[in-house]
Amino acid sequence: MNTKRTMVGGMPMPGVTERVVKAVFLTIICAVVILPFVGVISTSLAPAEEVTKAGGFVMFPTKGIDFTAYRSILSGGTVTQALLISAFVTAVGTTIAVALTCTLGWALSRRGTIGNKALLLLVLISLLFNPGLIPSYLTVQQFGLLNSLWAVIVPVSVSAFNVIVVRSFFVGLPNEIIDAARIDGASEWKLFRYIGLPLSKAVIAVIGLFYGVGYWNSFFNAMLYLNDSAKWPLQLVLRTYVVNGVELGGQDLGLAGEAAPPQTSIQMAILMISVVPILCVYPFIQRHFAKGVLTGAVKG
């Protein structure tokens, strides 16, 4: 191989050894990521006797598919309620967060308006520090939000980082359009609503997806602020019944007079219903994030 190699993008073509090593390396990485998910899906769908025989986790079920675990957690009971709560927190939280982030980002993008620099600085400085656990708790307590779902929604509804990303996108919009609309007599709200928002759909979608995933996944704030287990979102139910292995009794499931499926199946079904919504939005994130978030993050 001492003769001249073909060049690709300024680099010599990789040799056979390098290609094989890379192929093995990447295959292993992908398998390590994917196989656990396959196992979780399999166990949640495997029939009871197969799970019992395997003593827990089933990697490749061979005896057909059984939806009893899903039926038992989705027909009313603890998990169903937690699922509804998580859906509520995610929907309401994302709506509020996107609205607040976009309006603030738009206002900060209007350079030359009164107080613009001071407000921008206020947002930027908040990126440098974290208020800390105890002070945050005292604040939520003082506002009377303890044990309320709003404690999980409101405090994290404005991410300074997202505000900056949205703002830099708005700043990049062509000035001519905004000026033209203003000469035609458009109010600030109309500029925002009919020019800023429609031209920034992609970045708003990404921000919304990130807020959405954040709310859906939020675990610690729920644990910190919600004492009443009737208000628990899915992540806390997941922690209690899957991570800590507390058994779900008949009254926690929604089954009437049917034999409960094995705990492992139920646990994996709970795990699946907390993963599936993320899998559903993942393709959209995947399509958008390279454009929207990355440019904002890299360029500041």
Interface of this chain with other proteins, residues 179 to 208, rule: CB under 8 A: 187-189, 192
Residue list 271-290, contact with other proteins (CB under 8 A): 271, 274-275, 278, 282, 285-286, 289
How many other C-beta atoms can be found within 10 angstroms of the C-beta atom of residue 256?
A: 8
DSSP conformation class of 194? I
137 binds other proteins (CB under 8 A): yes
Number of residues that bind other proteins (CB under 8 A): 98
- At 248, is the secondary structure helix, strand, or coil? coil
Q: Alpha carbon of 36 to those of 33, 113, 160: distances in Å? A: 7, 53, 35
Residue list 43-102, contact with other proteins (CB under 8 A): 43, 54-57, 59, 99-101
From 28, 171, 180, 294, residue interacting with other proteins (rule: CB under 8 A): 294
Q: Could you tell me the smallest distance in angstroms from the CB atom of residue 180 to other proteins?
A: 18
From 45, 89, 163, 165, residue interacting with other proteins (rule: CB under 8 A): 163
DSSP conformation class of 147? T
Please report which residue ranges of the chain form alpha helices under DSSP H: 16-45, 48-54, 68-74, 78-109, 116-125, 133-142, 150-153, 160-171, 175-183, 188-191, 197-199, 201-217, 220-225, 234-238, 263-289, 292-299
What does the per-residue mask of binding to other proteins show for 230-269, with x meaning CB under 8 A?
Answer: -----x--xx--xxx-------------------x--xx-
| Residue 4 φ then ψ, to 5° | -60, 135
From 20, 25, 144, 177, residue interacting with other proteins (rule: CB under 8 A): 25
If the CB atoms of residues 118 and 256 are measured against other proteins, the closer one turns out to be 118
161 binds other proteins (CB under 8 A): no
